[in-house]
Chain A
Amino acid sequence: MPNIREVTAPGELGLRPDDRAQESLANSGRRIAALYGTAAEAQNDVGRRAASAINDVGTVAVKYAEHQEISKGAAEAAKTLSGLDEKWNETVKNADPNDPTVALKFKEEVLEPTLEKLGGGPITEGGQRFAEAQVQKFRNHFDAKTSSDMATLAGVAARKNIETLTNQLSNAALSDPTSLKTSLDLVEHSIGAMVDSSPNLKGVDGAKLKMDLAQSSQAAIVKAAAIGAINANPEAGLKRFSGPEYSKYISGTELKQLEQQARTVERARRVDENYALQNQKLIKQEASEAREGEYLTRIYSGDPKDAAKVSTKEIVADMTLTREARERMIGIVERQLKPETDSRLSAQTFVGLMRNLREPNADPEAVMAKAWDARLADPGKPGSLSEKDFNQMRAEIVARKTPEGQALERDRGQFFKQYAGAIAGGPGKYDPQMGSPKIYAAEMDARRVEADLRKKGLDPHLAYDPQSEYFLGKPGRLAKWAGSMQSDLETRATEPAAARPPITNPDAKPEPPYDLRGIAALSYSPSRNLWRDDTSGKMYDAKGKEVGK
């Protein structure tokens, strides 16, 4: 039997798919992505570290910059504050107190631009915070300061204005006390309106200022009115303002002052009355003296017709003359009927009167009264005065009433005090019989020289100036006045005994000792027979020796 063989494929023949490829791809893909993720995380980490480093370094840098700016800013702020304070003080010092916009203008034009500059400097947060804090502080400071200063300024303005108003109303009340009530109302209303309308006077300050000003202003006006009322009528005025109505304006002390014022006004009134009375007397006296002068001019004119026009009847009827003057003038008319007195006696009297006139604290009126008595004395009687010497004496006393006459008399008196000894005789040798005519001659000569100088347009004081060529104390002139011993003897021999005045004549003061003649103010005590330098107070005996003080 044929053996037919066939090919049989293996039983497990077939394709077997393999998952490894796709699994490998998927796994590798995941792994790669994970690695990229790691790389990315590394990048992130670098970023975080860089950021952290930048943070650390940057923070330090910023802190340093802030510190620098704050240090610099503090100094700048202090300087700015000082400058602003100075500018504000200068502004407010020169500001018009009545201008309420001073602070506003300062803030807009000076403060804000300066603060803006100050706050704009720093670039760091800390520096800016510091600057802003400083700016805010400065703003607050200047708000408070300017408000305070403006309030003060407004207060000053209000006070000044009210002071002016008060002065005006006080003056009105002083001259017219009836205006008091109106003035008080006006002041109260004005102060209220002035303070209320001021934008810088608010709250308690405004209310306080209102009260203070009203009280002080009204008190001042009330006091002025009180003084005015007291001046017009001391008793009624004092009574009115002592009442309770004005007690809130007038304190106890002030009331005492008003009482004093009332007494003063009363006293002033009396003084005024007395003064007016005295002035009337003086006026009458002066008129009398002037009229006396007119009579004397006519009597002594040398023209018998003029002299004849003066009658005692007219004098008695002339009420311009005082009673004493009338009596004197009658005496003068009567004296004209008698012979003229002896010139030697008159010279002695004249010299004595001149000595009286030159005494310290001499009363010219008393000396003039003596001159009148001397003129009215009988001729030949010791102490009588001739018409010429009487007129000269009157002229002397009248001249003393002018500053020029006083000055000239001072020089003249000084001259005769110094040179009287040389003219009338040495120390201890003065004799009224011999000395007075010489002194008299010198006195008359001096007046003649003064008159000559006046005629030449020169100063009459030159006669008493040792540097002047017209000086009266030159030896030649003195020798002429002193005369010679022979002429003195002749004079004594021809002098009638009755005409010689007694040595004890009170007017006959001894000549000063030779050593004391340079003393300007020298007085003599007859009872102690001592001389006294009135300037130094030193005392001297009759020989000029110092004996103490």
Chain B
Amino acid sequence: MALGVGTINSISGAVQDIFASGAHETKAKGLRIEADNYDLASGYADKNAKFTETSTAIKQAQLDRELYRTIGGQAADIAGAGFAASGSALDIMRDSASQGALTKAVGSLQGLITEEGYKVQSETFTNMGKAARMAADAEDDAATGALVSGGFKAAAAVASIFFK
């Protein structure tokens, strides 16, 4: 060992590693920002799930009210026509109640589906944030490793000059 191509390679390798360490740190910063954004997106998805739950409840209440108003109108109409609340009148009213209940049930189910979709989206963003953070940590490790590697290469360059 002596001052030669190996020494120069070690020096240039050390410099390259120092710059690579900076690059890894930069990448880590970017990944952390990405992770933070995923966290925020996850929060918004959670909120949307809650919004969906609230919205479904509102829609259920409106459906109930619509159903009551329809059936009440039918009873008033029947009574106004002088029909008794029997026979066909009841069938009509029964059918209305059945359709109303179906609509409500579908609306409730749709709300649950949307809510669940937002919850899954929230978890997905959370997981993506974790993954991005883990990648950032890995970049940090890589930065440290590059610094250590650069240090070793610098030491090797010095050693190659003084040790034969």
Given contacts A29-B132, A58-B7, contact A51 B15 (CB under 8 A): yes
Contact B20 A47 (CB under 8 A): yes
Q: Which residue of B lies closest to A47 (CB)?
A: B19
Chain B contacts for A21, CB-based, 8 A: 41, 44
B3 touches A29 (CB 8 A): no
31-48 of chain B: CB within 8 A of chain A: 31, 33-38, 40-42, 44-45, 47-48
Partner of A13, one of B8, B27, B58: B58
Q: Which of A36-89 contact B (CB under 8 A)?
A: 36-37, 39-44, 46-48, 50-52, 54-55, 58-59, 61-62, 65-66
Q: Are A15 and B51 in contact (CB under 8 A)?
A: yes
Question: CB of A474 within 8 A of chain B?
Answer: no
B164 to chain A: which residues have CB within 8 Å?
120, 128
> Which of these, B2, B38, B41, contacts A124 with CB under 8 Å?
B2
| Residues on the B chain within 8 Å of A124, using CB | 2-4
B residues less than 8 Å from A35 (CB atoms)? 30
Name the interface residues of B57-88: CB closer than 8 Å to any CB of A.
58-59, 62, 65-66, 69
CA distance A133 to B137 in the complex (A): 52
Complex-state Cα separation, A438 to B132, whole angstroms: 162
Q: Mark A85-126, 1 if CB is under 8 A from B, else 0.
A: 000000000000000000000000000000000001011111
A residues 328-372 in Cβ contact with B at 8 Å: none
> Taking the nearest CB of chain B, how far is it from the CB of A50, in angstroms?
5
Give Cα A101–Cα B151 distance, bound, in whole angstroms.
52
Chain A CB within 8 A of B144 CB: no
A32 within 8 A of B: yes
Cβ of A185 < 8 Å from any Cβ of B? no
Contact indicator B3/A62 (Cβ below 8 Å): yes
- Chain A residues in 8 Å Cβ range of B11: 54, 58
In the complex, the answer to whether B38 meets A26 with C-beta atoms within 8 Å is yes
Interface size class of A (residues with CB under 8 A): 35 or more
- What is the predominant secondary structure among interface residues of chain A facing chain B? helix
CB nearest to B18 among chain A residues: A47
Give chain B residues whose Cβ lies under 8 Å from the Cβ of A122.
2
Determine whether the beta carbon of A32 is less than 8 Å from that of B2: no
Instruction: Name the A residues within 8 Å of B59 (CB-CB).
Output: 13-14
Known contacts A36-B31, A55-B9, A127-B2; A26/B19 CB under 8 A:
no
> Chain A's nearest CB lies how many Å from the CB of B150?
9
Question: Which B residue's beta carbon lies closest to that of A58?
Answer: B8
A34 sits at the interface (CB 8 A): yes
- Within the complex, what minimum Cβ distance (angstroms) separates B30 from chain A? 2
* CB–CB A123/B33 < 8 A: no
Contact of A33 among B17, B20, B31 (CB under 8 A): B31
For the complex, give the distance between the alpha carbons of A413 and B126 in Å: 156
B97 at the interface (CB under 8 A from A): no
Cβ–Cβ < 8 Å partners of B54 in chain A: 15
Which single residue of chain B is at the shortest CB-CB distance from A48?
A: B16
Closest chain A residue to B29, Cβ basis = A36
Q: Could you tell me if B22 and A43 are in contact, using CB atoms closer than 8 angstroms?
A: yes
- Per-residue interface assignment for chain B, residues 129 to 146, with 1 indicating a CB less than 8 Å from any chain A CB and 0 otherwise: 000100000000000000
Contact A26 B118 (CB under 8 A): no
Q: Does A303 contact B (CB under 8 A)?
A: no
CA distance A14 to B48 in the complex (A): 13
- For this complex, 21 residue pairs linking A to B, each with C-beta atoms less than 8 Å apart, are A14-B55, A14-B58, A15-B58, A22-B40, A22-B42, A22-B45, A23-B41, A25-B37, A25-B38, A26-B128, A32-B30, A36-B29, A37-B30, A48-B16, A50-B19, A51-B16, A54-B8, A54-B12, A58-B7, A62-B4, A128-B164
Other CB < 8 Å A-B pairs besides A26-B41, A37-B27, A54-B8, 8 of them?
A9-B65, A13-B62, A22-B40, A25-B44, A34-B30, A48-B19, A51-B16, A62-B4
- Which residues of A does B touch, CB under 8 Å? 6, 8-9, 11, 13-19, 21-23, 25-26, 28-30, 32-37, 39-44, 46-48, 50-52, 54-55, 58-59, 61-62, 65-66, 120, 122-128
Top 3 A-B pairs, shortest CB-CB distance: A36-B30, A47-B19, A29-B37
